[in-house]
């Protein structure tokens, strides 16, 4: 593991400088699209360990980040943004540690458009099999005037200089005009053009404050692509990065994909600044279940979505809400009698994907006051009791009375309402008990 003290050690720095001198500016620009994947492939850039981790209740130790990085590798994400090297010694250590243990995804560090940030990112990434520096600089007048206090011309100069410096240190550089969705369009286009000329091969256009709408965000991708011919000519990857302040992060990300984005930045369980980032599991499941609308491929192993969500839930201070799509406890639970009946007849009646698809072991018919006889009979069957019509009817009345008093009905409650003679007739259960 990289320790905090060697982050700034002279030997460490000298070794890096040597390596940089040897390789100099010879890094070949290698846009992701030109590697092995077809043009309709969407790359998943996971920022759980950076944008996610920097939100309240989500901070992780290096060891915890490593645990999560393994889960992300199993999930099949293409790029892991492991941290922001300049932000803290902990971030630096986590990035460096992850580069030595995780080999399938490319590892990225965030950097402001500053020499010291970019050099620190390169240092943290020096042992990565495949590294990326992700440089960002605000493009909205609001941010330039109030936050950075620089002019548009200065921002354009900084864009070119910082991307060129990053390209001299690693062979894969991403540039993000921060607050892209609130930026004046001509200026945004100019900044993107300069970043590409300077060597960036991925251009990420973030909806930093979760302000945009699907139609508007999609239009921005279309326009930038049309006005910067180098994007298609050089196989530059356009990327979405959405925050969820209006609850539109996933919808906006999908709109970007429909308008040419081939990288999507997202987090497990949608954690992130304020209302969070776009939820990886929702995007991945939508691209699969509604493949008829999107026609893209991904490298995501869908059956690892739920396991990855569970790993994260154990590392941070909160879990997804029970009704969270794909990974919430109730995402595959059916309580109402009509739904339970339909589910038992044919799961397609009420399920658009199987729980197994996303790695959930089984669906859950939650027994409560809305449940019907079919679900009750099914649960008794699973518990090893076969009921006649009359026995079911009798037991059902007792069940309804109990469900009126008790919010959750557990298996032992069910066994408790059975008449003695039925309880004695128990055979081996047909499935594993909860």
Question: Which residues contact ligand KIV (rule: CB under 6 A)?
Answer: 51, 110, 136, 176, 178, 204, 206, 208, 241, 243
174 touches, from ligand KIV, Zn ion, none (C-beta below 5 to 8 Å by class):
none
259 touches, from ligand KIV, Zn ion, none (C-beta below 5 to 8 Å by class):
none
Q: Which residue is nearest to Zn ion (CB)?
A: 51
What Cα–Cα distance (Å) separates residue 428 from each residue in 183, 305, 324, 367, 382?
Answer: 66, 33, 35, 21, 9
Q: Please state the closest distance from residue 76 (CB atom) to Zn ion, in A.
A: 22
Q: Please state the closest distance from residue 110 (CB atom) to ligand KIV, in A.
A: 6
Whether the CB-CB separation of 107 and 121 falls below 8 Å is answered with no
Q: Which is nearer to Zn ion, 253 or 310 (CB)?
A: 253
Q: Please state the closest distance from residue 39 (CB atom) to ligand KIV, in A.
A: 24
CA distance linking residue 312 with residue 291, whole number of Å: 27
Q: Does 282 bind Zn ion (CB under 5 A)?
A: no
136 touches, from Zn ion, ligand KIV, none (C-beta below 5 to 8 Å by class):
ligand KIV
Q: Which is nearer to ligand KIV, 174 or 391 (CB)?
A: 174
Q: Which is nearer to Zn ion, 51 or 179 (CB)?
A: 51
Q: Which is nearer to Zn ion, 162 or 239 (CB)?
A: 239
CA distance linking residue 309 with residue 120, whole number of Å: 30
Residue 186 C-alpha from the chain's centroid: 30
CA distance linking residue 254 with residue 217, whole number of Å: 10
Q: Does 81 bind Zn ion (CB under 5 A)?
A: no
Q: Please state the closest distance from residue 8 (CB atom) to ligand KIV, in A.
A: 24
DSSP secondary structure string for all residues of 76-88: T-SEEEEE-TTT-
Q: Please state the closest distance from residue 206 (CB atom) to ligand KIV, in A.
A: 3
Q: Please state the closest distance from residue 93 (CB atom) to ligand KIV, in A.
A: 21
Q: Which is nearer to ligand KIV, 266 or 343 (CB)?
A: 266
Comparing C-alpha atoms, which of 175, 180, 226, 182 is closest to residue 197?
A: 175
DSSP symbol at 32: G
Give the 3-state secondary structure of residue 106.
Answer: strand
Q: What binding mask, one character per residue, do residues 22-61 give for Zn ion by CB under 5 A, x or -? A: -----------------------------x----------
Q: Please state the closest distance from residue 146 (CB atom) to ligand KIV, in A.
A: 16
Q: Which is nearer to ligand KIV, 43 or 136 (CB)?
A: 136
Q: Which is nearer to ligand KIV, 243 or 324 (CB)?
A: 243
CA distance linking residue 22 with residue 16, whole number of Å: 10
DSSP secondary structure string for all residues of 238-256: EEEEEB-TTS-HHHHHHHH
CA distance linking residue 7 with residue 5, whole number of Å: 5
DSSP secondary structure string for all residues of 385-416: ----HHHHHHHHHHHHHHHHH-SS--HHHHHH
Query: Which residue ranges make up the site for Zn ion (CB under 5 A)?
Result: 51
């Amino acid at each position: 593991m990289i320790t905090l003290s060697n982050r700034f050690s002279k030997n460490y720095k000298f070794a890096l400088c040597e390596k940089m001198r040897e390789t100099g500016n010879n890094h070949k620009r290698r846009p992701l699209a030109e590697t092995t994947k077809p043009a309709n492939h969407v790359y998943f850039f996971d920022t759980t360990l950076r944008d996610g981790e920097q939100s309240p209740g989500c901070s992780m130790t290096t060891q915890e980040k490593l645990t999560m990085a393994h889960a992300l590798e199993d999930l099949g994400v293409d790029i892991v943004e492991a941290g922001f090297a300049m932000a803290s010694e902990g971030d630096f250590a986590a990035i460096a540690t992850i580069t030595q243990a995780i080999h399938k995804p490319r590892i990225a560090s965030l950097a402001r458009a500053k020499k010291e940030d970019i050099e620190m990112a390169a240092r943290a990434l020096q042992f990565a099999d495949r590294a990326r520096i992700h440089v960002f600089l605000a493009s909205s007048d609001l941010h330039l005037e109030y936050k950075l206090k620089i002019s548009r011309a200065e921002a354009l100069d900084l864009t070119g200089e910082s991307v060129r410096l990053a390209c001299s240190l690693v062979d894969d550089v991403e540039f993000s005009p921060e607050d892209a969705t609130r930026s004046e369009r001509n200026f945004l286009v100019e900044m993107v053009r300069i970043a590409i000329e300077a060597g960036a091969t991925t251009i990420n256009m973030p909806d930093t404050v979760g302000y945009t709408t699907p139609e508007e965000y999609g239009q921005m991708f279309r326009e930038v692509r049309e006005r910067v011919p180098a994007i298609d000519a050089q196989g530059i990857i356009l990327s979405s990065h959405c925050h969820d302040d209006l609850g539109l992060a996933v919808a906006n990300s999908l709109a970007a994909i429909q308008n040419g984005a081939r990288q999507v930045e997202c987090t497990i369980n949608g954690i992130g600044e304020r209302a969070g980032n776009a939820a990886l599991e929702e995007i991945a499941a939508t691209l699969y279940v509604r493949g008829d609308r999107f026609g893209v491929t991904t490298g995501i192993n869908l059956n690892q979505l739920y396991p990855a969500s569970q790993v994260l839930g154990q590392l941070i201070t909160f879990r997804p809400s029970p009704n969270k799509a794909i990974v919430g406890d109730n995402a595959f639970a059916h309580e109402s009698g009509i739904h339970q009946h339909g589910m038992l007849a044919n799961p397609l009646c009420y399920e658009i994907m199987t729980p197994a698809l996303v790695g959930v072991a089984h669906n859950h018919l939650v027994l409560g006051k809305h449940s019907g006889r079919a679900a009750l009979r099914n649960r008794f069957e699973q518990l090893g009791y076969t009921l006649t019509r009359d026995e079911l009817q009798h037991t059902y009345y007792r069940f309804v009375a109990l469900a009126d008093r008790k919010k959750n009905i557990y298996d032992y409650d069910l066994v408790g309402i059975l008449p003695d003679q039925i309880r004695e007739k128990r055979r081996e259960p047909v499935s594993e008990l909860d």
